[in-house]
């Protein structure tokens, strides 16, 4: 074999790994534990029978974009859907990042922001969150001095759960607009928190808000996400995505899901209630936890528990409970992240956790 060498900058990168282990209780990837309404699956089955499968899908995904736009009360020229919000992020970086460009992230945050930046040849500037995982103005200033083309915010942030305050985000957008930087706000968990940066989008503003059907819509299996942004940004990104990138099934599934908004809200209400219950129970155990505005909680065994994060993760796994092991990640030493599951799953997690820790 005489293959060309892969790009030098890629050879330094590790792929993205979230173990898919066969366990009884999976609380590691922030999926919804509750499936979408069965009627939605039935409607989808019916609609799929009508598709001309020998034809390419609607290249502009017009109906889906109109439906998403209606949901957010914006014009459909301000929406672009893709295969999961990861693909949306990749498309944004292919458009506004790339070789010779820079993207900034505030760590700890969603690993894919810097990973996709690196994949697209974009240099990554790292700003450090403070001890409570909020972002200080002085850190933003230091990052902006390095001239990023793109600045990532993630709210609620994965894996910390921290929701950025509206005034903070407004001030970052204002400064980025004057400097010519695009702010990408990743709201994969946005519906679990009490405000959305979509409300800040105006024509001409330097902001793109990414969303996904994977979490609040309970549709991780379909791989569908989108960006809401001023139409000029959408037009530019549209030139980058591959032709017919969004298949007919996804377009239909997304539009159908949007007919079940009330069901989506009741699933969110339930998960928020469970999150708060879980936080109360965790506060009785020897763990430190961080307040979350998402469908997961970051926590770490305290000294009193006399067990490392890694050993706790293993002990839970032995009991067939999988949570996310962040214990060896930079800035998250000893931390684990648990996704909010069903009441039964959460009870089981809490019982086993208590049995291990106390
Ligand atoms: C913050 C954040 N953004 C984006 C994604 C990717 O979502 P999708 O399934 O839409 O690609 C995730 C998935 O875990 C996430 O946590």
- 296 in contact with ligand 1, CB cutoff 6 A: no
Res. 18: pLDDT tops 80: no
Residue 287's beta-bridge partner residues?
Answer: 301
pLDDT at 16: 63
E strand spans, the chain: 25-27, 79-82, 102-107, 123-128, 150-154, 182-186, 207-212, 225-228, 287-289, 296-301, 321-325, 336-339
pLDDT score of 163: 98
CA 141, 143, 149, 152 torsion: positive or negative?
Answer: negative
Q: How confident is the prediction for the chain on average, in pLDDT?
A: 96
pLDDT at 8 over 90: no
Mean pLDDT computed over 237-248 = 97
The alpha carbon of 3 and the centre of ligand 1 are apart by a number of angstroms equal to 33
Enumerate residues 6+ apart whose C-beta is below 8 A from 181. Answer: 144, 147, 148, 149, 150, 151, 206
91 by Cβ neighbours in 10 Å (0-12 / 13-18 / 19+) ranks as: buried
Cα of first residue to Cα of last residue in the chain, in angstroms, is 57
pLDDT given for residue 1 in this prediction: 72
Phi, psi of 40 (to 5 degrees): -65, -45
Distance (angstroms) between ligand 1 centre and the Cα of 85 equals: 6
DSSP 320: T
Residues contacting residue 275 through CB under 8 Å, at least 6 positions apart: 192, 292, 294, 295, 297, 340
Span 72-125, pLDDT tens digits: 999 999 999 999 999 999 999 999 999 999 999 999 999 999 999 999 999 999
Q: What percentage of the chain exceeds 90 in pLDDT?
A: 93
Structure confidence at residue 46 (pLDDT): 98
Q: How confident is the model at residue 280 (pLDDT cuts 50, 70, 90)?
A: very high
Confidence category of residue 60, pLDDT binned at 50, 70, 90:
very high
Ligand 1 pocket, residue 82 CB under 6 Å:
no
Q: What is the pLDDT of residue 13?
A: 74
Which of 30, 68, 80, 86 for a ligand 1 pocket mutation test, highest count of atoms within 8 Å of Cβ?
86
Q: What's the CA dihedral at 226, 228, 231, 233 to 10 degrees?
A: -70
Residue 216 Cβ inside 6 Å of ligand 1? The answer reads no
**Distance, C-alpha 31 to centroid of its chain:** 11
Sign for the pseudo-dihedral over CA of 342, 343, 346, 351: negative
**DSSP string over 42-98:** HHHHHHHHT--TTS---TT-HHHHHHHHHHHTS-GGGEEEESSHHHHHHHHHHHH-S
pLDDT of residue 17: 66
Ligand 1 atom having least distance to the Cα of 224: 10
Q: What whole-number distance in Å separates Cα of residue 239 and Cα of residue 85?
A: 17
Using the mean position of ligand 1's atoms as its centre, give its distance from the Cα of residue 227 in Å.
Answer: 12
Q: Does the beta carbon of 187 sit less than 6 angstroms from any atom of ligand 1?
A: no
Identify the pLDDT of residue 2. Answer: 86
Strands 287-289 and 225-228: unpaired
What distance in angstroms lies between residue 305's CA and the mean position of ligand 1's atoms?
32
Specify the pTM. Answer: 0.96
Tally the residues of the chain. Answer: 358
Atom of ligand 1 lying closest to residue 154 CA: 1
Per-residue model confidence (pLDDT) at position 170: 97
Cβ of 219: how many Cβ atoms within 10 Å? 22
Contact between 56 and 244 under an 8 Å Cβ cutoff? The reply is: yes
pLDDT of residue 15: 67
To test ligand 1's pocket by mutation, which of 108, 109, 112, 157 has the most ligand atoms within 8 angstroms of CB? Answer: 112
Residues whose CB is less than 8 angstroms from the CB of residue 5 and which lie 6 or more positions away in sequence, other chains included: 11
148 CB within 6 A, ligand 1: no
Has residue 268 got a pLDDT over 70? yes
Atom of ligand 1 nearest to the CA of 220: 9
The residues that bridge with 339 in the sheet, in sequence order, are 296
What mean pLDDT do residues 131-158 have?
A: 97
Average pLDDT over residues 188-193: 96
Domains of the chain: 8-30+262-357 (3.90.1150.10), 48-259 (3.40.640.10)
Q: Determine whether the shortest distance from the Cβ of 84 to ligand 1 is under 6 A.
A: yes
User: Above 90 in pLDDT, residue 11?
Assistant: no
Judge if the beta carbon of residue 321 lies within 6 A of ligand 1. Answer: no
User: Quick one: tokens of 273?
Assistant: 């209630």
* Beta strands 296-301; 336-339: pairing state: antiparallel
What pLDDT does 259 receive?
97
Mutate to test the pocket of ligand 1, among 110, 257, 294 (most ligand atoms within 8 A of CB): 110
> Is 322 strand, coil or helix?
strand
Question: At 72, phi and psi to the nearest 5?
Answer: -100, 0
Per the CB < 8 A criterion, the answer to whether 192 and 276 are in contact is no
- The residue whose CA has the least distance to atom 13 of ligand 1 is 188
């Amino acid at each position: 074999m005489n293959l060309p060498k892969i790009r030098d900058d890629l050879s330094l990168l590790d792929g993205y790994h979230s173990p898919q282990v066969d366990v009884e209780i999976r609380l590691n990837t922030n999926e919804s534990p509750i499936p979408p309404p069965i009627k939605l699956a039935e409607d989808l089955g019916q609609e799929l029978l009508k598709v001309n499968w020998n034809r390419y899908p609607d290249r502009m995904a017009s109906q889906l974009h109109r439906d998403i736009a209606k949901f957010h009360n914006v014009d459909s020229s301000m929406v672009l859907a893709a295969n999961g919000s990861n693909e949306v992020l990749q498309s944004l970086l292919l458009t506004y990042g790339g070789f010779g460009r820079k993207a900034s992230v505030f760590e700890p945050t969603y690993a894919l922001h810097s990973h996709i930046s690196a994949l697209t040849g974009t240099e990554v500037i790292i700003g450090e969150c403070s001890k409570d995982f909020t972002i200080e103005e002085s850190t933003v200033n230091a990052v902006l001095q390095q001239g990023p083309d793109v600045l990532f915010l993630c709210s609620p942030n994965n894996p910390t759960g921290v929701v950025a305050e509206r005034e903070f985000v407004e001030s970052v957008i204002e400064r980025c607009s004057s400097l010519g930087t695009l702010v990408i706000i990743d709201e994969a968990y946005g519906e679990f928190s009490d405000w959305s940066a979509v409300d800040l989008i105006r024509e001409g503003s330097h902001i793109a808000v990414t969303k996904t059907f994977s979490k609040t819509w309970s549709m991780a299996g379909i791989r569908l996400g989108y960006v809401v942004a001023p139409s000029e940004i959408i037009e530019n990104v549209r030139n980058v995505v591959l032709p017919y990138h969004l298949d007919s099934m996804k377009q239909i599934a997304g539009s159908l899901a949007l007919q079940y908004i009330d069901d989506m809200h009741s699933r969110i209400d339930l998960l928020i209630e469970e999150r708060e219950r879980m936080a109360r129970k965790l506060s009785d155990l020897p763990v430190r936890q961080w307040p979350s505005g998402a469908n997961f909680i970051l926590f770490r065994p305290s000294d009193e528990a006399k067990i490392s994060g890694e050993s706790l993760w293993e002990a839970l796994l032995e009991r067939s409970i999988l949570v996310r092991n962040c214990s060896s990640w930079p800035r998250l030493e000893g931390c684990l992240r648990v996704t909010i599951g069903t009441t039964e799953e959460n009870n089981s997690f809490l019982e086993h956790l208590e049995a291990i820790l106390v």
